[in-house]
């Protein structure tokens, strides 16, 4: 499998699999965008070439080449990455893997998102594990060897990773604020109520519409309407590559008024039509 551009999006692992691994690479002139988002799964990202910051519910970390970040399932996070060429490997796995008898002792370390660095020797070992995991996944993702390599990677990160200090984020460190939004985030996460109005969302969170709107933008860095739209767009990008749905049916499923509206919205977000996106990634 060749490296390809991928986009931040909330999604769950394909049915029947315990993990997925993908390599991502951007040329120097290729645009990159990300917004605060969440996953239904745990996530490791090993950065091969990067300069920027990783932020989550409670803080922000500066990330450098060969650093690794862990994002716990359902925790909102974001990446603010400098322009230029960049590359990383994404590994997403079901939370149940951490309940394996060989990994249970590491559960406390992986309750929350974190940023890890390693000694030079361990960096090389981590990279070799990720390379082997990528090979094993593309050879047979369900094999005992593939899952075994993933478990070795998790235990190695836990045993030898150095957790970095956190720069506190005043806008993101207030856990109570995140808890207020959890009902609607859950609805979006389950891909329900995709066209929930701001007024109804505010009622669900027991907030006035104006207070809800201000607070949501403060926490998630985009407006509620923009967050909803981006969530739909990233879900659409995922479904275009993992299902056989037609572009027309997908647009209607995501509650767009018409196929042309869906295509125009998709192109505005990703710079290409759904058909062009499919062709570039699947060929």
For residue 44, what are the contacts with CB-CB under 8 A and spacing of at least 6? 68, 69, 70, 90, 91, 92, 93, 153, 157
We report the CATH number of the domain holding residue 121 as 2.60.120.280
pTM comes to: 0.71
One domain, residues 132 and 184: no
Q: How far apart are CA 34 and CA 36, in angstroms?
A: 7
Q: What is the pLDDT of residues 215-265, one digit of tens each?
A: 888 777 778 988 888 878 878 887 887 788 899 999 998 889 999 999 999
Shortest CA distance to 113 belongs to which of 194, 192, 175, 204? Answer: 175
Question: Range of 157's domain?
Answer: 19-163
Q: Which residue has the higher pLDDT, 181 or 251?
A: 251
Task: Tell me whether residue 1 is in a domain.
Answer: no
Cα gap 228→183, rounded to integer Å: 14
Return the bridge partners of 21, or none: 91
Domain boundary among 97, 129, 163: 163
**Residues 71, 125: one domain?**
yes
The Cα 46–Cα 22 span in angstroms is 11
Per the domain annotation, does 6 fall within a domain? no
For position 172, what pLDDT does the model report?
44
How high is the pLDDT of residue 6?
45
- Eight-class DSSP state of 14: P
Residue 3 has pLDDT above 50, yes or no: no
Q: What is the pLDDT of residues 6-51, one digit of tens each?
A: 444 445 566 678 999 989 898 888 878 777 777 778 999 999 999 9
Q: CA 174 to CA 247: how far, in whole Å?
A: 40
- Number of domains comprising the chain: 2
Q: For residue 12, is it within any domain? A: no
Mean pLDDT rounded to a whole number for the chain: 85
Is residue 4 one of the residues assigned to a domain? Answer: no
The residue out of 163, 191, 211 marking a domain boundary is 163
Q: Does residue 192 sit in the same domain as residue 212?
A: yes
113 pLDDT higher than 70? yes
- For residue 233, being part of any structural domain is answered with yes
Task: Based on the fold, state whether residues 189 and 273 are members of the same structural domain.
Answer: yes
The rounded distance, in Å, linking the Cα atoms of 43 and 21 is 10
Same domain flag for 271 and 186: yes
**pLDDT of 173 higher than 90:** no
Mean pLDDT over residues 252-281, rounded? Answer: 88
| Same domain? 147 vs 33 | yes
**One domain, residues 31 and 149:** yes
pLDDT, tens digit (0-9, with 9 covering 90-100), for 41-77? 899 999 999 999 998 867 789 999 999 999 998 777 8
- pLDDT, residue 70, reads 96
């Amino acid at each position: 499998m060749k490296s390809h551009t991928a986009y931040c999006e909330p999604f769950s692992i394909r049915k029947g699999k315990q993990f997925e691994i993908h390599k991502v690479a951007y040329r120097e002139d290729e645009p990159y965008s990300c917004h605060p988002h969440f996953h239904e799964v745990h996530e490791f990202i090993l950065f091969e070439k990067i300069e920027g910051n990783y932020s989550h519910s409670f803080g922000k970390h500066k990330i450098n080449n060969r650093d690794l970040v862990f994002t716990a399932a359902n925790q909102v996070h974001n990446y603010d990455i400098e322009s230029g060429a960049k590359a990383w490997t994404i590994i997403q796995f079901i939370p149940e893997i951490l309940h394996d008898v060989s990994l249970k002792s590491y559960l406390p370390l992986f309750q929350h998102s974190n940023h890890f660095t390693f000694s030079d020797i361990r960096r090389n070992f981590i990279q070799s594990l990720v390379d082997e995991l990528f090979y094993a996944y593309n050879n047979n993702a369900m094999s005992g060897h593939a899952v075994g390599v993933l478990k070795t990677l998790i235990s190695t990160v836990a045993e030898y990773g150095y957790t970095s200090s956190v720069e506190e984020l005043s806008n993101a460190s207030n856990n109570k604020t995140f808890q207020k939004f959890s009902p609607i985030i859950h609805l979006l996460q389950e891909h329900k109520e995709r066209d929930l109005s701001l007024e109804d969302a505010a009622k669900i969170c027991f907030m006035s519409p104006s207070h809800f709107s201000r607070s949501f933008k403060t926490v998630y860095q985009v407006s509620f309407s923009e967050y909803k739209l981006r969530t739909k767009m990233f879900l659409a990008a995922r479904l275009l590559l993992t299902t056989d749905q037609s572009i027309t049916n997908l647009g209607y499923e995501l509650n767009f008024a018409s196929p042309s509206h869906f295509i125009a919205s998709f192109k505005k977000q990703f710079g290409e039509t759904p058909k062009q996106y499919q062709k570039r990634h699947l060929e």
